[in-house]
Chains A and B, each alone.
With several copies, the nearest count.
Chain A
Amino acid sequence: MAKVGAPEKLITKDGLRLDGRRLDEPRPVKLEVGILKRADGSAYIEQGRNKILAAVYGPRELHPRHLQKPDTALVRCRYNMSPFSVPERRRPGPDRRTIEISKVAREAFEQAIFAEHYPRAGIDIFIEVLEADAGTRCAGITAASLALADAGIPMKDLVSAIAVGKIDGQVVLDLTGIEDNYGQTDMPVAMMPRRNEITLLQMDGHFTSEEFEQALELAIKGCKILYEKQREALKTKYGGP
């Protein structure tokens, strides 16, 4: 499907991508922890052009009451995009895409959080995309993971996330918007890197089974890179060895 305005190639002759990255190289990442006053925990991520805030409230009393669970906290997640985060102004409010992303992002954390420590409570994760350029769900999860830690929510491990994909027939790490639009495949992955437990995986496009295995390896490698950056950000905020 040739689309309007497609670039001729996404990988140059010297094997680099349009923004100069190697195939297995993530975009530059900047992470900051604890940047909001009202939230119980918060973090900010810049990954390429992506600019995303995450905040956590809780454990706190859960309303309406009939949602309370007698033996565990209810984890909720809301992924939202600001109206000015995308090329065409976005109408405020959830749409089908953000509802699905909110669901899978929540599910990526349910495995990690010791929710059973807080029966009847609510733990709310908010991801606000301020500027978007592909991979926002992964970047949002990476930031939300830090916001959870900043809020003091006990977790088995941090959750780290990154997308892999296929462009010009090659498996690559961390697609940009242009690579996502004109490439063949996109596969966001989230995991707890120390435990090798994958808690989010979606994929669309085209992979042979060999490519899938290669991509999965690369995603795991990418998550581990993000994991180190997350730990650094926490150290910057909280110190430690």
Chain B
Amino acid sequence: MADIIAEIKKDYIYSLAEKDMRVDGRSLDQYRPISLETGKMGRAQGSAIVKIGNTQVIVGTKLEIGEPFPDTPNEGVLTVNAELVPLASPTFEPGPPDENAIELARVVDRGIRESDAIKLDNLCLIEGEKVWVTFVDIHVIDHDGNLIDASALGAISALLNTRLPATKVEGKEIVIEEGETVPLPVVQKPVACTFAKINGKLMLDPSLDEEHIMETRVTVTTDADGNIRAMQKGIAGYLTKEELIKAVQIARERSQELRKFL
């Protein structure tokens, strides 16, 4: 039965695609309604709750003092993690992050890292010894498609919302100045735009129904200047050169809408 319904849904989405239409009435390059709230998670240093249609993602940031990597002794550390908790979807299983959760985290991570969104050198406390480690934890709570864009938007939003304790360095000691905080030095606003390819058409912001039947998927992360900072083709299937160029072009335009929420 499930198969028959899936087949009927697929046929319907395909036939609409031929007319450049979608099941929920959107145009091919249109996002579902988006909402974004920041600062609601009181134990996080920064947080954002993002809804894109029915998809819901919470991102929280935490800061800890830790050690730098040996090859970047005067830079802070950024760590992005995603949990696909089973509360969010009947297909998510408890356990350590699977390949989908890892891909999600790494695509979001690259968008932030490669756009130099955070001034990591401002997060060095004592060169080679102590730096701020920024944890960005993506908690998906309702999965109705396009987790990447929701997570990327939530991540940069939570980072922009983040305040870290003011500190003084006295010799080799880090002194936290109680109660005083400064904003995390975030200087770029990378935003991810994800497309499903369905019946040869690129559909921005695929819903879960669209994801179930898409031929392939591609994500383009751009910065505020319209430069490309990260890309990721996902799942099986293929794209042509022309499709990729078109995806980049649409992403450069539509990302500005997302950036208005930041």
Shortest distance between the CB of B13 and any CB in chain A (Å): 19
Tell me, yes or no, whether A180 is within 8 Å of chain B by CB.
Answer: no
A80, A107, A217: which contacts B235 (Cβ < 8 A)? A107
CA distance A39 to B241 in the complex (A): 35
Closest to B47 in A: A84
Are B72 and A83 in touch, CB under 8 angstroms?
A: no
A38 CB contact (under 8 Å) in B60, B88, B234, B239: B88
Q: When chains A and B are docked, how far (Å) is the Cα of A124 from the Cα of B88?
A: 12
* A205 within 8 Å of B (CB atoms): yes
Pick the contact of B43 from A3, A102, A103, A131 — CB < 8 Å?
A131
Q: Are B102 and A100 in contact (CB under 8 A)?
A: yes
> With A37-B54, A83-B81, A84-B47 known to touch, is A204 a contact of B87 (CB < 8 Å)?
no
The answer, yes or no, to whether A86 is at the interface (CB within 8 Å) is yes
A212-B248, A216-B245 given; A82·B237 CB < 8 A? no
The segment from B23-31, B225-233, B254-262 that touches chain A is B225-233
CA separation between A239 and B143, bound complex, in Å?
28
Render B195-206 as a binary contact track against A, CB cut-off 8 A, 1 for contact.
000000000000
| Interface flag for A9 (CB, 8 Å) | no
User: Are A82 and B244 within 8 A (Cβ)?
Assistant: no
Question: In the assembled complex, how far is the CB of residue A228 from the closest CB belonging to chain B, in whole angstroms?
Answer: 19
Taking a contact as CB atoms under 8 Å apart, the answer to whether B233 and A104 are in contact is: yes
Q: Are A197 and B230 in contact (CB-based, < 8 A)?
A: no
Question: Would B60 and A84 count as touching, CB distance under 8 A?
Answer: yes
Contacting pair A124 B248 (CB below 8 A): no
Residue from A5, A78, A84, A130 within 8 A of B62 (CB atoms): A84
Residues B71-102 near A (CB distance < 8 A): 71-73, 75, 81, 83, 85-90, 94, 96-97, 99, 102
Q: Are B71 and A36 in contact (CB under 8 A)?
A: no
Query: Which of A39, A216, A217 has most B Cβ within 10 Å?
Result: A39
**Which residue of B110, B144, B240 contacts A197 across the interface (Cβ within 8 Å)?**
B240
* Cβ–Cβ contact A196 & B241, under 8 A: yes
Expressed in whole angstroms, the Cα–Cα distance for A126 and B235 within the complex equals 19
Asked if A83 and B231 sit within 8 Å, CB to CB, the answer is: no
Determine the main DSSP class of B at the interface with A.
Answer: mixed
Q: Which residues of B contact A104 (CB under 8 A)?
A: 103, 232-234
Chain A 45-60: CB-based contact to B (< 8 A → 1; otherwise 0): 0000101011101001
B144 touches A38 (CB 8 A): yes
Contact of A92 among B44, B64, B81, B87 (CB under 8 A): B81
With a 10 A CB-CB cut-off, give which of B41, B116, B249 has the most chain A CB atoms.
B41
A103–B43 Cα distance when bound, in Å, is 26
Q: How far is the CB of B25 from chain A (nearest CB, A)?
A: 18
Q: Is B147 an interface residue (CB 8 A)?
A: no
Q: Are B139 and A199 in touch, CB under 8 angstroms?
A: no
Is there an interface contact between B240 and A201, defined as CB atoms closer than 8 Å? no
Give bound CA distance, A83 to B135, whole Å.
9
State how many angstroms separate the Cβ of A195 from the closest Cβ of chain B.
8
Interface residues of chain A: helix, strand, loop or mixed (majority): mixed
Say which residue of B41, B106, B241 sits within 8 Å of A216 (CB atoms): B241
A80 to B93, CA, bound (A): 13
| Interface presence of B58 (CB below 8 A) | yes
Known: A84-B43, A84-B44, A130-B41. A4 touches B72 (CB 8 A): yes
Contacts of B231 in A (CB 8 A): 187, 201-204
- Which chain A residues lie closer than 8 Å to B113 at the CB level? 204
A98 to chain B, nearest CB (A): 10
Nearest chain-B residue to A57 (Cβ)? Answer: B90
In the complex, whether A200 has a CB less than 8 A from a CB of chain B is: yes
Contacts known (A198-B241, A212-B248); A53 close to B87, Cβ less than 8 A: yes
Q: What would be 17 A-B contacts, judged by CB atoms less than 8 Å apart?
A: A1-B75, A3-B71, A36-B88, A38-B143, A53-B141, A55-B88, A83-B81, A83-B139, A89-B137, A93-B96, A96-B105, A107-B235, A126-B86, A197-B240, A200-B233, A204-B113, A209-B252
Q: Contacts A36-B88, A126-B85 known; list 14 others, CB within 8 Å.
A: A3-B71, A37-B54, A38-B54, A38-B89, A83-B60, A84-B62, A89-B62, A96-B97, A198-B244, A202-B232, A204-B110, A204-B229, A205-B229, A213-B245
Which are the 7 A-B pairs with shortest beta-carbon distances? A84-B60, A110-B236, A197-B238, A89-B62, A203-B231, A84-B44, A126-B87
